[in-house]
Amino acid sequence: MKERVNKPRIGLFPGDPSGIGPEITAKLLAEAEVHEAAEIGIIGGPQPSVAPGVLSADAGAHSLDALRDAARLLRLGEIDAFCYGPLNKQALKLAGMKHEDEMRFLIAETGYTGPAGEINIGPDFWTSRVTSHVPISEVSRLLSEEGIVAAAELLNNALGGNGNGRPRIAIAALNPHAGDGGNFGTEEISIIAPAIERARDRGIDASGPHPADTVFVAARNGQFDGIVTMYHDQGQIAMKLIGFERGVTLHGGLPWPVTTPAHGTAFDIAGRGMASVTAFRQAFRIGVRIATRGTVSF
- Asked if 174 and 223 sit in the same domain, the reply is yes
DSSP state of 250: E
At 3, the pLDDT band (50, 70, 90 cuts) reads: very low
**Mean pLDDT value of segment 203-232:** 96
Q: What digits encode the pLDDT tens for the residues 151-210?
A: 999 999 888 877 788 999 999 999 999 999 999 999 999 999 999 999 999 999 999 999
CA distance 112 to 116: 9
User: How far is Cα 82 from Cα 150, in angstroms, rounded to an integer?
Assistant: 24
Are 15 and 87 within 8 A, CB to CB? Answer: yes
The domain containing residue 212 runs over which residues?
123-246
Reported as a pLDDT band with limits 50, 70 and 90, residue 294 is low
Cα first-last separation, the chain: 28
Q: How far is CA 288 from the centre of its chain?
A: 16
Which of 94, 74, 92 minimizes the C-alpha distance to 83?
A: 74
pTM to 2 decimal places: 0.85
Number of domains in the chain: 2
- DSSP classification of residue 190: I
Model confidence at 298: pLDDT above 50? no
Whether the CA torsion 258, 241, 134, 177 is positive or negative: it is: positive
Q: Are 82 and 256 in contact (CB under 8 A)?
A: yes
Last residue of a domain, one of 225, 246, 267: 246
H or E segment to which residue 206 belongs:
strand 205-210
- Give the pLDDT confidence of 243-287 residue by residue, as tens digits: 767 789 999 889 999 999 989 999 999 999 999 999 999 999 999
Of 229, 246, 263, the last residue of a domain is: 246
Which positions ≥6 away from 71 have C-beta within 8 Å?
106, 109, 110
Q: Are 241 and 273 within one domain?
A: no
| CATH code: domain of residue 32 | 3.40.718.10
Of 246, 262, 279, which residue is a domain's last? 246
Give 103-144 pLDDT, tens digit per residue.
999 999 999 998 899 999 988 899 999 999 899 999 999 999
Mean pLDDT (whole number) for 217-228? 96
The model's pLDDT over 56-86, given as tens digits with 9 standing for 90+, comes to 999 999 999 999 999 999 999 999 999 999 9
> What would the mean pLDDT of 28-40 be, rounded to a whole number?
96
Q: Are 23 and 95 part of one and the same domain?
A: yes
CA nearest to 270, candidates 91, 70, 80: 91
Burial class (CB in 10 A: 0-12, 13-18, 19+), 53: middle
Asked if residue 274 and residue 233 are part of one domain, the reply reads no
Same domain, 242 and 260: no
Are residues 85 and 233 part of one domain? no
- Percent of the residues in the chain that have a pLDDT greater than 70, as a whole number: 96
The neighbour count for residue 123, using CB atoms within 10 Å, is 13
Model confidence band, residue 149 (pLDDT cutoffs 50, 70, 90): very high
Q: In the prediction, which pLDDT does 140 show? A: 97
- Partners of 39 in beta bridges: 9
Percent of the chain's residues with pLDDT above 90: 82
